[in-house]
Chain A
Amino acid sequence: MALTRKRRRREQPSGEMILTSLMDLMTIIVVFLLHSFGTQQIALAGDDELVLPVSTSLKEPKRAVAVTVTRKQILVDGQLVATLEDSVDPVTQQPTVVVAAADRVDMKITPLYNQLSEKVAEARGSGAVSDDEAFKGEVLLQCDKRVPFALVRDVMYTAGAAGFSSFRFVVVKGSG
């Protein structure tokens, strides 16, 4: 009787965790996530007001000063520089957005110009860009697909005035 009890005790699971397979699992997940985030040069804020258009372009994005135009705001490298105002398209009567009159002089968006000028000064002067890597004047434009071209044009004009001459429109890679 006592012998039978001892055998039963021995057959019961010990309760120790088998870590080897768990470590394999975690390694795969970590490598996959690192690969996913490491290859993507662009970080987008989770914002419903920013829906990028789809394009057949396959060109990979590179790091550059990021100008984001949502349906509410204009941001430079994630930092708010101007708030947009709601308006109405005079032709279609559809809702649209414009830059506040106080924030602009003709096509130039003043707070955006100031911020981008600082970026240029930083890159050229204070060692943000190394000596052998010249300032290329590239800007990543992330615009909501519903904003009017007039707003995109003003942003490009302002960036051009601040010293950026090359524009990279960030789009969602679509099938072609």
Chain B
Amino acid sequence: MKMNKNDYFLIIACAVLAGVLFLIFEKCRDDNGKYVVVRDDGEIVLELRLDTETEYRYKNSYGFNTIVIKNNCVYVESSDCHNEECIRQGKISKTGESIVCLPHKVVISIGAGNIKTENDELDGVAG
């Protein structure tokens, strides 16, 4: 039951590790989270604006996920995966947050997006 000195040392070491990782991620974080980025097996397949209201049914060989964007939040409304863990993960709205559907290999995250930098002007025109 008693905790010894080494236990405290271990806990502090883990906490420091968490702190350092947090600072690194915070530094790398792209604050410009205007896009909902959908990745399928690591590749970006879809980018949607976060400030719109839309519903998208993303389908791949594993199954589908219905992604809903509403009030600057993203969530998965329905999916045919076995555990529906993606639905349980709820709404995300902050840069860096993500929803993972492990069985479908789909990651939905909020970030700056790649398409924006490539087609910035086109986007402006399409506006």
- The answer to whether A and B assemble together is no
| Residues on A facing B (Cβ under 8 Å) | none
| Residues on B facing A (Cβ under 8 Å) | none
